[in-house]
Amino acid sequence: MDINRVKGAIDKVAGITKQKTGGLIGNRKLRVEGIAQEFKGKVEDAWGVAKDTVRQTDKKSGK
């Protein structure tokens, strides 16, 4: 598993937490930060998946 997948998962959880906390306390800025952080996590996770796929393809082709 690529480190980007781990970082992405952490950012997604942190972002969701910020969103929910912001919603509970009525802090719109915190909610928006959470949305952005969750999105960042999704992108980083996707990058990690792509890197893992390339590695697996290289292993299968014998490179």
Q: Does residue 62 carry a pLDDT above 90?
A: no
Cα dihedral sign, 18-22-23-24: positive
Q: What is the pLDDT of residue 63?
A: 62
pTM of the model: 0.86
pLDDT digits (tens, 9 = 90+) for 1-47: 899 999 999 999 999 999 999 999 999 999 999 999 999 999 999 99
Angle formed by the axes of helices 3-25 and 28-61, nearest 10°? 160
pLDDT at 58: 86
Burial bucket for residue 28 (CB in 10 Å: 0-12, 13-18, 19+): exposed
